[in-house]
Chain A
Amino acid sequence: MSNLQETTEQILTLAAQHFKVPRERLSPDDDFFKKLGINSLQTLDLLTRLENHFQVELPDYELQGVSDFRTLAERIQARL
């Protein structure tokens, strides 16, 4: 089982790869909407990719108000 740091790292790598942003430009406390330049439709796409990658289920309402990678990682970690 991954720890929070590993989970965060995997999220950052996956987001960088999919949204074609250099990995080194992303950090855990970044606002992923702003940093990745994504709208809610693309956020849904990211959510599905994360669920598939970590094999977890993340109800949308658990992500309400979540905008940074670190908190996102915490939500996923809670489901691993």
Chain B
Amino acid sequence: MKEFYGKTLSWTTTEGVIEVALHREPGNEIGSETLLELERLGVLLASLDETTHALIIYSTLPAGFCAGADLRELYERMQALSPERRLDGVRDFLERIHRVMNAIDAAPITTIAAVHGVTFGGGFELALTCDIIIADKMARFCFPELRLGLIPGFGGIPRLKRDLGNAVVRDLLLTGRSFNAAKAQSVGLVSQVTGEGEALNVARSTAAQLAKFDRETATVAKRFIKHIPEAELRHEIETFCELFVRPEVEAGLKKFVESTDALPYLP
């Protein structure tokens, strides 16, 4: 499927580069609809032809790349289910999103996240599946999950640990603070920082450079240097589920849903 136009994301393929555009208002929150469409992307990645060599993920929304999981949907679903069923539902969602994130992470082509603005929670985790993160200088990264009584659940911490020193990971996770693109580059999370509005253009020129190399060689090189932290990813799902049944989570989600603030999880 060279092209796909969904409700939350779309993609086109041009000259061997798949461009995935996230476009779900207001902040590309990842809920069940986005998950379904990401799963379609997973199917595409499992059946790539030899002419495809790169993938770029970006957002068309001014607010940023992705604000994370759709917490409003999560809360509404929680309210409709018994406590036992809630956990089953969350576990099912986590298993599915992990399969998609792992598929992007291990894709046999080079993947680039071109990010700007809010790159929080699940959005940050999506960017972390990519081989290269190119950030607009106005991009901001954050794991706000502790404010909800949770840890990141889409594979973020194992992938962040893979790329960064543990001190930075602990700072981000335990303080819930955000940091900007310059800081992200200084700690080795982001490989290139661009001017405002230029991340996608830079990602495209990077993807064009990748086309000069034999794809099989690039795939082997990627597998050589980028392992999938499978045991930690499994552990993350179990830890998330343990936390999810605590009353603090429902209280945190309720506070979030009832807030009228544009970014209720920020201090």
Contacts and interface: CB of A to CB of B under 8 A. Distances in A.
A48 B138 contact: yes
Contacts of A41: 63, 118, 262-263
19 contacts: A39-B261, A39-B262, A40-B262, A40-B263, A40-B266, A42-B262, A44-B263, A44-B266, A45-B138, A48-B180, A49-B138, A51-B180, A57-B179, A57-B180, A57-B183, A59-B175, A59-B179, A60-B142, A60-B266
Given A39-B261, A60-B266, A44 B182 contact: no
Interface string B98-119: 0000000000000000000110
Interface residues of B, number: 21
Interface in A10-49: 39-42, 44-45, 48-49
A13 B178 CA distance: 24
B177 A59 contact: yes
A64 B142 CA distance: 16
- Is the contact region of chain A dominated by helix, strand, or loop, or is it mixed? helix
B182 A51 contact: yes
A55 B178 CA distance: 16
Contact of A60 (B118, B178, B183, B264): B178
A52 B182 contact: yes
Given A44-B266, A59-B177, A59-B179, 15 more contacts: A39-B262, A39-B263, A40-B261, A40-B262, A42-B262, A44-B263, A49-B138, A51-B180, A51-B182, A52-B180, A57-B179, A60-B266, A61-B175, A61-B176, A61-B267
A63 interface: yes
B140 interface: yes
B137 interface: yes
Contacts of B138: 45, 48-49, 52
A54 to B, nearest CB: 11
A67 B197 CA distance: 28
A39 B266 CA distance: 12
Among A39, A41, A52, A61, residue most surrounded by chain B Cβ atoms (within 10 Å): A41
B105 to A, nearest CB: 28
